[in-house]
Amino acid sequence: MQDKLFIDGKWEKPRKGGTIDVINPATEEVICKAGAGTSNDVDHAVKAARIAFDSGPWPKLTGAERARYLRAIAGKIDERRHALARLEVTNNGKPLPEAVWDIDDAAGCFNYYAGLAEELDNNAEEPIAVADTRFSSKAVREPLGVVGAITPWNYPLLMVAWKVAPALAAGCTIVLKPSELTPLTALELGRIAEEIDLPPGVLNIVTGTGPDAGEPLTEHPLVDKLAFTGSVPTGRKVMMAGAQDIKNISLELGGKSPFVVFADSDIEKAVEWIMFGIFWNQGQVCSATSRVLIEEPIYDAVLKRLTEEAAKIKIGNGLDEGTLLGPIVSKGQYEKILGAIERARQDGVTVAAGGGRPAGFNSGYFIEPTVLTDMTTDSFVWREEIFGPVVCVKPFNDEEEAIRLANDSRFGLAAAVMSEDRARCERVARALRAGIVWINCSQPTFIEAPWGGYKQSGIGRELGRWGLANYLEVKQITSFDADEPWGWYIKG
């Protein structure tokens, strides 16, 4: 069924019958073929979502009624957690423990937004005190409409959950276009929707490439809201397409996040969090702290320990026990990362660790954990998102310089600071121009907290109550309650 699309509660072949090879990045073998949806399929899916929103029961249900569906989805994900995690590994390449964590978080996301859906029943309306007592006014939160969601390949099911769960909780209907590289767990979500009898047209899933399926979705006039996670260049295209109809847009884009380590930090803790911030998920994380700034007195010691520990990371198939670094998701991404490392070498950057394909791997898109030093602040690897297991390390002299170097980027998704001085951490956290700042850690992500960036790292926030607000419109309803006539034109 992987070669079918889920539209209006039914599975159907793409109108043009095309398919896309889905590759296991650990072996470079074809797992299966997914349906290659095109503009005709997108049109069908959007119209189904439009009818489901305009004429169907979904937006008219109470929050508690919608919550029951969301909890049912969470329950089905939890029931299949091991099978879904193994499918994620086979399709994406990440180590199995990471995939299990992702699947658990996806189920948790649906449960969390079920709770917020229930709360909507009590706070969908907010009375407003107005100056003229002859009037009463209230603000009403209503579902936004039909959502077009485009999700990336780095956290396939989890990124789907981040968009689908709050959209459904709000009462929206949705057309989902998952990455063509990793569509398999998104299709499993369609099967779950079918099993729990989600009303037809509420969730539609169209697999396909960006040009053939993603672009028609962003341009469709019946879509009210676009939610996209991915690269800045693609996000720019989504924004331009949405501007034609003045669509509501939220974007979660790239990053080149800094990690500032002060000299009073514990070196072992610093090395652990630096590694977690860049080698988790093979460095294919939009918020990865890929620019590490280390205060001069401990720079050499931290760098020495970092290169030693990076060399110890077990590389392998994500299904093999003990693997901590799996393959890169695709051949194209693999070649892009190696190209960036080669460019760094040509620019005179020092490759302190890694830098190529690990020995003993004749197949699969594997790259060693890589540590780069001695780059200028205008070098390609320091300024551009590589999206792989590659970290750039640079010394700094004082707090002022650290903040200046950290903020000198067109990105602003995340940042981290480490110090034993809590007051300094709080001060630096406030000074960092990023939507997410971690203190004495890197990458922890919680469903309850807002997620999104400054500058070219995006627009809007996902997760928490902010994520639900992405899919709600606010309407003012004002009533004239006085018995006397208005009397502006007609005089008594």
Positive or negative torsion for Cα 213, 110, 231, 324: negative
Report how far residue 292's alpha carbon sits from residue 395's, in angstroms, rounded to the nearest whole number.
Answer: 8
Classified as helix, coil or strand, 6 is strand
The two tokens of residue 351 are: 């490759």
**Cβ contact 330:21 at 8 Å:** no
Report how far residue 252's alpha carbon sits from residue 452's, in angstroms, rounded to the nearest whole number.
Answer: 6
Residue type, 209: T
Bridge partners of 136? 479
**Cβ contact 414:289 at 8 Å:** yes
**Cβ contact 241:218 at 8 Å:** yes
Nearest to 120 by CA among 175, 164, 61: 61
For residue 17, give every residue at least 6 positions away whose Cβ sits within 8 Å of its Cβ, in sequence order, or none.
Answer: none
Question: Any alpha helices (H) in 214-359, and if so which ranges?
Answer: 215-219, 232-243, 267-279, 296-312, 331-346
Nearest to 257 by CA among 282, 232, 288: 288
* Phi and psi at residue 248, to the nearest 5°: -70, 130
Report how far residue 391's alpha carbon sits from residue 337's, in angstroms, rounded to the nearest whole number.
Answer: 12
Give the CA distances from residue 175 to residues 138, 368, 489, in Å, rounded to whole numbers and listed in that order.
31, 37, 49
Give the CA distances from residue 72 to residues 32, 143, 164, in Å, rounded to whole numbers and listed in that order.
28, 21, 14
For residue 301, give every residue at least 6 positions away whose Cβ sits within 8 Å of its Cβ, in sequence order, or none.
Answer: 267
Bridge partners of 173? 146
Give the CA distances from residue 307 to residues 120, 257, 313, 352, 392, in Å, rounded to whole numbers and listed in that order.
50, 20, 10, 7, 12
Given 88, 98, 188, 252, which residue is catalytic?
252
Residue 368 designated active-site: no
Catalytic positions, please? 252
